[in-house]
């Protein structure tokens, strides 16, 4: 029931028929992974059976109210003792180390990444979104990562998450200040304004509002140009080799002419106000 961070920080979904996607990107964290997430590598906090509010044995009971696609709600992780007096950079690195454990998971409308309903659990309308298989959508991913990494609660609804003014520290209800970073005019502006772990909110290609959120990797991404983000997204972004990046959670380039950059609306900083 454990996940391991592989050399390239990639995880393949169980049962994949095709060879796993090999990304040309990686993240060089400024601290050893074993120092950042020891409680996730060895302990209940990193055990997939304890991701939800209800016991794992009840996840797939049809008597439960989540007969629809979303599955059980995530547990509220307490602030981790290992974070202690860690610096802001250390906490940002922990957020990214936590997020990278889910690389390779699919794009699914689930509350927790390891909710994996059996075939036929929920049948979407023709042309609708698949819901079997591990995975989360963009804002459920960012919400879960901050929850598991630091015990910080933010909405999993992308519109509500984008409007967050203060997050909640689980276990005591203390408010965590959130810094709003306004829209930048170009890629150079975003590079200057953002720090790893910041959440960048993206407008739809047509219309108004907020439709997507990514985790900024920035200076810790390799290669460094263009900067990288980590998100759960569809299959419409190509990597530096021209290969289509699969749907789901992957590192992706934040290019100057990309939808990410041209439609970026604002960002939130939850660590290091």
All structural domains of the chain: 26-269 (3.90.1720.10)
pLDDT value at residue 5: 44
Q: Would you say residue 12 has pLDDT above 80?
A: no
Q: Are 250 and 164 in contact (CB under 8 A)?
A: no
Identify the residue with better confidence: 218 or 172.
Answer: 218
Q: Would you place residue 144 in the very low, low, confident or very high pLDDT band (cuts 50, 70, 90)?
A: very high
Q: Whole-angstrom Cα distance, residue 247 to residue 105?
A: 9
Name the DSSP letter for residue 66: -
Half-sphere exposure in the Cβ direction for 164 (13 Å, CA): 30
Nearest in space to 198 (alpha carbons), one of 126, 272, 104, 105: 272
Burial 166-205 (b: 16+ CB within 10 A, else e): ebbebeeeeebebeebeebeebeebbebbbbbbbbbbbee
Segment 156-165 shows an average pLDDT of: 97
Q: What is the mean pLDDT of the chain?
A: 90
Q: Are 154 and 242 in contact (CB under 8 A)?
A: no
Q: Would you place residue 67 in the very low, low, confident or very high pLDDT band (cuts 50, 70, 90)?
A: low
Segment 34-59 shows an average pLDDT of: 96
Token pair 């994996």 is found at: 116
Identify the residue with better confidence: 117 or 251.
Answer: 251
**pLDDT tens across 69-109, in order?**
789 999 999 999 999 889 999 999 999 999 999 999 999 99
Identify the residue with better confidence: 131 or 232.
Answer: 232
Q: Would you say residue 122 has pLDDT above 80?
A: no
**pLDDT tens across 161-200, in order?**
999 999 999 998 789 999 999 999 999 999 999 999 999 9
pLDDT value at residue 10: 43
pLDDT value at residue 117: 84
pLDDT value at residue 100: 98
Note the pTM of the prediction, 2 decimals: 0.92
Burial 25-35 (b: 16+ CB within 10 A, else e): bbbebeeebee
Going by their DSSP bridges, the two strands 248-253 and 228-233 should be labelled as antiparallel
Identify the residue with better confidence: 100 or 8.
Answer: 100
CB-neighbour burial class of residue 230 (10 A; exposed 0-12, middle 13-18, buried 19+) = buried
**pLDDT tens across 81-90, in order?**
999 889 999 9
Segment 239-264 shows an average pLDDT of: 97
Number of neighbouring beta carbons within 10 Å of residue 262: 14
């Amino acid at each position: 029931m454990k996940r391991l961070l592989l050399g390239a920080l990639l995880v393949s979904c169980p049962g994949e028929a095709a060879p796993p996607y090999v990304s040309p990107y990686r993240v060089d964290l400024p601290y050893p992974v074993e120092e950042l997430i020891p409680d996730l590598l060895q302990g209940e906090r990193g055990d997939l059976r304890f991701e939800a509010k209800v016991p794992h044995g009840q996840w797939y009971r049809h008597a439960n109210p989540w007969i629809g696609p979303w599955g059980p709600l995530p547990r509220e992780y307490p602030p981790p003792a290992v974070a202690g007096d860690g610096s802001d950079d250390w906490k940002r690195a922990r957020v990214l180390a936590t997020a990278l454990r889910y690389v390779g998971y699919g794009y699914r409308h689930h509350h927790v990444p390891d909710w994996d309903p059996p075939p036929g659990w929920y049948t979407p309308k023709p042309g609708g979104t698949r819901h079997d298989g591990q995975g989360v959508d963009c804002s459920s991913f960012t919400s879960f990562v901050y929850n598991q990494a630091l015990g910080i609660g933010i909405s999993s609804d992308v519109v509500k998450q984008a409007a967050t003014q203060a997050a909640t520290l689980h276990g005591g209800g203390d408010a965590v200040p959130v810094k709003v970073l306004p829209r930048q005019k170009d890629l150079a502006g975003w590079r200057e304004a953002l720090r790893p772990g910041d959440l960048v909110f993206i407008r739809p290609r047509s219309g108004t509002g907020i439709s997507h959120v990514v985790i900024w990797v920035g200076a810790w991404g390799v290669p460094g140009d263009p900067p990288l983000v980590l998100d759960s997204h569809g299959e419409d972004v190509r990597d530096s080799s021209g290969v289509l990046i699969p749907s789901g959670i992957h590192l992706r380039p934040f290019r100057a002419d990309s939808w990410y950059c041209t439609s970026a609306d604002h960002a939130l900083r939850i660590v290091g106000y």
